[in-house]
Structures are given as C-alpha cells and as structure tokens.
Amino acid sequence: MTASLILPAPAGQGGTITVSFDREPLRIERPLAPFTRVAISAGHVVADPSGTPYPGQAAAIDWPKTIAFRRYLLDQGLGIAEAMDTAQRGMGLDWPTALELIGRTIAETSDIDGALIFSGCGTDQLADGASVTIDAVLRAYREQMDGIQALGGRLILMASRALVRAADKPADYIAVYDRLLRDADQPVILHWLGEMFDPALDGYWGASSFDDALETCLEIIGNNAAKIDGIKISLLDKEKEIIMRRRLPADIKMYTGDDFHYPELIAGDDQGFSHALLGIFDAIAPAASQALSALAAGQPDRYDALLAPTLPLARLIFSAPTRFYKTGVVFLAYLNGHQDHFIMLAGHQAMRPLGYFTDLFRLAAEARLLVDPDRAAHRMKAVLALHGVDAV
C-alpha cells in the first residue's frame, strides 16, 4: 500500500500537501444489520468517451459500467434513485436516454432480492427558457410518468424548471401536483430541490420565502397522503428540514437530501429522524452502509465514527457552485476503479479547478474511502500530469 503522496496545495495556499495512507480503507462488510432507515443513493452515469457526441446529440453511456455501479450500491443495502440530478439529468442526460437508463437499471437488477429503485420523473423534454403553459407541463410530466410506470418503475416527482416558468401562483403548483398524484400507480417521492442545486428552480412552490413555500408543499401532501411515500428536501439547511419533518403526517417519510448535515439528520432526535436519499451516498457507499448497519445495531458511536470523516469530503464535493457536485462524485468513482476514465457527459469533468481534485483526494483518503491506495495514487498522478503538474 502506498505510504504517502505529495501533492501541490490548492491555489492560493502555496507549497505542498502530504496525503498519508496509514489506515486500512473501508471494505464492504457482511452481514449487514437490517437498516432502520430507508437509505437511497442517487447514482451517477459512466460516459462512453469513444462515443462522446456533438452538442445536441444524445448522451453516450457506458452501459456495462453504469449498471455495474448500481449493482455495487445495491450490494451494500442501498436503494437507487435513478436518472436524477446526480446522473446529470438536465446537464447532459436527456429524457430519452434517461428512460433507457431507468429501463436498463430495473431489468438488469431484477435478480437482486429487495432492490429498491425509484426513478426521476420530470419535464426536461421541454426546452429551457421557452414560454410554456401549465397544460404543457402536465403533458410532459404525464409522458414521463407513463413511460416509467410502463416499465414497472416507481416515481420521484422531480421539481420542474418549466413549472416555475408556467406557474403564476401557489395554486398552480397545487393543481399540477394534485392531478399527477391522482394518476400515480404507487406512492411517489416528492422532491424539493433548492436553487443552490439548480438556479432555475428559484421560487419553487410559487413562493419567495421558505415559510410560504412550506405551506403550499404541506397542502399538496395533505391532499394526497395516500399517494405519497415521502419527500426529499434538498435545501442544505438542516433547520428547515427539521421544521418540515415535524409537520409531516405520520406515514410520510422525510428523506434528507442535505449533503452537509446528513449524519445528524439521519440519526434524528427525540422527535423523529430523516431517511436518506442522497447524492453523496454514491461517493461514500461503504461508509454509509456500515454506519447505517451500526445505527441499526444500537452502536451510535460507531455510526458517528464512520460518517464524521465523510463530512469534510461531502462539503467539498457539494461546495458552490453546488450544481457541479457531480464532477467530484465521478472523480472519486474514477479513483476507486469503478470506471477507467474521468470523462463526463457534456464535458463536466472540466467544471472544477485542479485544487478541488487534490483536496478531494486528500479528504477521501482521510475518510478511508480510497479502496486501493496504489491505484488511486497512480490515477491522481495521471490527472496532475495532464495539467502539467508533478506529484511525488
């Protein structure tokens, strides 16, 4: 095992940093205690670099590697949130390719007992920025609902950029969601995605304030409780999540999407806890799986010890501009051998500076998430060399 690697410090700091591998990396453990939280990981896609398209063409996917990664997540007891923003939905992954991804994931993991898969249903076939009506938004949602449900898939109703443009008031959101939920085959997960993840979603639920938006969202949930499994809230604000969690009907799950505070939100307090639907679980799957098993086994200290070192890594991966967090997720998958390259859909491997990657490498090592340090060090050196930088 590589003892250490000397890397250039992030820009502005000067000098170098030394990354040491003095602790064994985390391994997948068996048996896992049955989780007491529903734990779902959004999954990234592996691009096919030989088929990288020109702008306007469909995304090129390495299907075997992409499906293998989903099986890796399921093998650790995690569910999958398919074709979500972690898969570059709306940032390289178009709706026809997303539907193919959903179909392949459902079909090619059907042999895994208990595989829990929800799939993103949105309106991204509507062009960004174009004028759009409420009826057009409903038709777009229904096209995706029908496509996913025809495959036997369960739905995550994704927040819609088009609905923000079409809606004039909170009542428009209520009307759209009431109509969609009425026609859902199985209970769905709602998704409240903040503008830090997608600036085009600013003002979602027809409100500029959290308090007003919350009331609209809760009204929708109250109107349709039998058709709702839960809601994922991704606002990177733990207090807002807790406020909403305490007001949800008893049978509606709160799925944390807070990649900055997930350990404490999942652990919960004397008034409840959050389940998990997180993009960061893609990057920290072994730590997440073992921590959830420890929590179920009544070992809160081990739970904390496993997840606490992942927080600095998560906060770096999801640092502003947050919408480019997928770059960090894919880079860690490359370091860990889940893919043979660091090419992303729409060239998103270029969306972070070099110092981000050296910091990510260091923090992943500290969290024991580089499963093969020699391979990870070799690949880190290759990335540095591409930038004209030597590492020792």
Instruction: Give the model's pLDDT for residue 326.
Output: 97
Q: Using the predicted structure, report yes or no on whether residue 238 has a pLDDT greater than 90.
A: yes
- Residue whose tokens read 């072994």: 286
What is the Cα–Cα distance from 342 to 368, expressed in whole angstroms? 21
Mean pLDDT in residue range 146-153: 98
Q: Using the predicted structure, report yes or no on whether residue 1 has a pLDDT greater than 60.
A: no
- Provide CB contacts within 8 A for 211, sequence distance 6+: none
Q: What is the pTM of this model?
A: 0.95
Q: Using the predicted structure, report yes or no on whether residue 14 has a pLDDT greater than 70.
A: no
Q: Identify the weakest region by mean pLDDT among 20-34, 137-151, 180-194, 204-218.
A: 20-34
For residues 155 and 145, is the Cβ–Cβ distance under 8 A? yes
Mean pLDDT in residue range 365-387: 93
Q: Which two tokens stand for residue 193?
A: 């995605």
Cis amide leading into 31 (omega within 30) = yes
Provide the percentage of residues in the chain whose pLDDT is more than 90. 86
Domain boundaries, the chain: 29-308
Mean pLDDT in residue range 222-245: 97
- CATH 1.10.10.10 assigned to 29-308: no
Q: Using the predicted structure, report yes or no on whether residue 261 has a pLDDT greater than 70.
A: yes
Q: Using the predicted structure, report yes or no on whether residue 196 has a pLDDT greater than 70.
A: yes
Q: Using the predicted structure, report yes or no on whether residue 109 has a pLDDT greater than 80.
A: yes
What is the Cα–Cα distance from 31 to 18, expressed in whole angstroms? 35
Mean pLDDT in residue range 281-307: 97
What is the Cα–Cα distance from 126 to 231, expressed in whole angstroms? 24
